Structure 1
């Protein structure tokens, strides 16, 4: 049976140095780290997880609370990419992910903090969790390192990361206004998410900046789903004064809106311009003009920030914003 003493002897370092390399401590030179890692791989050594946890006082597990109100789960085109890059960074540092179920058995620990403590996770990622979740306060006050995506979580050990949602909305609205659109509608989010709220703010601020008319009837809600976007667009198509363009706060809603436009005998872009938000994989195949989020960067930066909170208790929780960009395709035309 191979032990750390065998690795230490082969690498000509102390067993303590081998232990520090295997447990991810940063205070080992890169040259020594690479040598120990190479010899560990050559000898086929597999550290015992329980022993590793005792040595470091960590479980080497990150708890992930992943909620999706439309129940698409890991198939969700935006959340999947964020999670994938988060997993890659955490896995590279020796951490496994534990995904918590959305529902627990009656009588079980049902708060975020209680479930995280029960599983002894070293940190927590929140993804898709709404602001209205009642147990967020207990998690923030529990002292567990936390990072959230698209949820403005504040606490002594809790930070968050999001895209520049308001800035992205401004990009979309500027693009439409520059192409002569004066009657611009908005299909957004009724679930009180930070992205939905910020994109609506960006829409409203842009209307004011460009001197455009605000119409209550030109604001509808699609719940970030294709069906929701389709239903919202159908309502707008029935208006006496319908918009010439619609800004959708999510690509799935934009896809639904395009479907409704086609079903009415019109053509997206030619008759009514449509712009989305996210730049999911489907968007390019549908020639959808949209605002791109850098999904992989959101996940990887969330992981890096959470690692810093775990490894350094004095680390100040960050508030990070990742820029967005306009992707011009064919669903926006000048009037």
Structure 2
């Protein structure tokens, strides 16, 4: 096994200089860093991560806080896609990921306290934003850098990356209106999530702009799962006057809604058009291919990781609020209503 002393001898520096190069100390010139790193590569030297963390008091690990148990979360392709973006950024920056989960808020909080108080992570990424969230309340007291994927619930001065979900839902609803639809249903996510609240607000603003009354009989909300979309569509189609178009705020829910429509003998898009959100990879393979709002889940994850790592490395000290643009991916689940 190659030692730090051997690296130092070949590079013509002291072992302490090699250690400083490994920790990316600003006291070492870029020329020296480049020379030492070249020798490390030639000799096949790999720094001992545990020893390095003991010296630097860092773990080079980012904790990922999921909204609920992992086996439930990963049923929705949004999370793997966002995690893929996080993994890309953390790998580039020399960090690892550690996922914390729990079946209840209490289990999640206990898991979070274990990794933070045990010094196992340097920073955190919350993969969601929820109203009256005990996890967020606890994290704010932990004095560890963190960033949220989702707008903070009370417009607090916190680091976050998100879409403008009000605008995105407004644009989606307005598009359907311009396609001739005046009666537009909504299958929304849980209203304890900020993303669902914002998309509901955008939907209502578009209806108001075009003087269309809100009809609660064609509006439902549930968890972001296929079953939620299935049950929501069944309820809406039983309305005395069913809509000509539906917005689902998640593609997975849209898949459930499409199945419910088919089970009830309703054809898509001939009888009812469907617009959705997230544009997950399976959307284009739905029957019919699903028109969906692209929210850039991969980039949301990447930018969240970049924000927290920039804070950890001292590259940024200001509060960061990054809002990514959305756009509609047009496919065959919508037709004009003339």
| TM-score computed with the length of structure 1 as normaliser | 0.89
CA shift, 1:31, in A, is 5.9
Q: Is residue 191–residue 197 contact of structure 2 (8 Å, CA) maintained in 1?
A: no
Q: Is residue 270–residue 333 contact of structure 1 (8 Å, CA) maintained in 2?
A: yes
Counterpart for residue 205 of structure 2: 205
| Separation in structure 2 between the aligned mates of residue 9 and residue 261 of structure 1, nearest angstrom | 72
CA shift, 1:69, in A, is 6.7
Aligned to 1:97, the other structure's residue is in SS state strand
| Separation in structure 2 between the aligned mates of residue 234 and residue 96 of structure 1, nearest angstrom | 44
CA shift, 1:52, in A, is 0.9
| Separation in structure 2 between the aligned mates of residue 207 and residue 74 of structure 1, nearest angstrom | 33
| Separation in structure 1 between the aligned mates of residue 29 and residue 198 of structure 2, nearest angstrom | 44
Counterpart for residue 282 of structure 1: 282
CA shift, 1:304, in A, is 0.8
| Separation in structure 2 between the aligned mates of residue 88 and residue 237 of structure 1, nearest angstrom | 43
Instruction: Quickly say closer, same or farther: Cα 1:70–1:117, change in 2 above 3 A.
Output: closer
Map Cα deviations across residues 76-119 of structure 1 (whole Å, 9 max, x no partner).
30010111221221122222222223159x99982745641224
Q: Is residue 111–residue 138 contact of structure 1 (8 Å, CA) maintained in 2?
A: no
Aligned to 1:110, the other structure's residue is in SS state helix
CA shift, 1:331, in A, is 0.6
Instruction: Quickly say closer, same or farther: Cα 1:27–1:77, change in 2 above 3 A.
Output: farther
Counterpart for residue 36 of structure 2: 36
Is residue 2:147 matched to residue 1:147? Answer: yes
| Separation in structure 1 between the aligned mates of residue 197 and residue 107 of structure 2, nearest angstrom | 35
Counterpart for residue 319 of structure 2: 317
CA shift, 1:143, in A, is 1.4
Is residue 2:196 matched to residue 1:221? Answer: no
Q: Is residue 65–residue 129 contact of structure 1 (8 Å, CA) maintained in 2?
A: no
Q: Which runs of 5+ in 2 are unaligned?
A: none
Counterpart for residue 68 of structure 2: 68
CA shift, 1:29, in A, is 6.1
| Separation in structure 2 between the aligned mates of residue 261 and residue 102 of structure 1, nearest angstrom | 34
Aligned to 2:172, the other structure's residue is in SS state helix
Counterpart for residue 296 of structure 1: 298
Instruction: Quickly say closer, same or farther: Cα 1:165–1:40, change in 2 above 3 A.
Output: same
Counterpart for residue 136 of structure 2: 136
Counterpart for residue 235 of structure 1: 235
Counterpart for residue 327 of structure 1: 329
Q: Is residue 68–residue 102 contact of structure 2 (8 Å, CA) maintained in 1?
A: no
| Separation in structure 1 between the aligned mates of residue 239 and residue 119 of structure 2, nearest angstrom | 53
Instruction: Quickly say closer, same or farther: Cα 1:303–1:329, change in 2 above 3 A.
Output: same
Instruction: Quickly say closer, same or farther: Cα 1:129–1:202, change in 2 above 3 A.
Output: closer
Q: Is residue 112–residue 136 contact of structure 1 (8 Å, CA) maintained in 2?
A: no
Provide the aligned length of Structure 1 versus Structure 2. Answer: 333
Counterpart for residue 3 of structure 1: 3
